[in-house]
Amino acid sequence: MKMINIEPLKVFMDAAEDAHNQYLNQPKLLGDKPLTGGELEDYNRQSSELLESYNDACRALFTALSLVAKKES
């Protein structure tokens, strides 16, 4: 079995991890109160953007991995 060099894929792995961490670290409260109004809209918009970037990074990573695997086989 051949080993796959994942070093070129690191940029995709880092992007996925960064987007995931940003999503998890979003504030869900404003002080001790739940988000409302504009803050809640901003939270929802940012959540959608972060999840979209996470999905894009994961999709790129899996595409790159499958291309590398095809070349190695």
In this predicted structure, what is the pLDDT of residue 30? Answer: 65
Q: How far apart are CA 4 and CA 7, in angstroms?
A: 9
pLDDT tens string 19-70: 778 777 777 766 777 778 888 888 888 888 888 888 888 888 888 888 877 8
pLDDT tens string 5-24: 677 778 877 877 887 787 77
pTM of the entire structure? 0.59
What are the structure tokens assigned to 42, written together?
């901003």
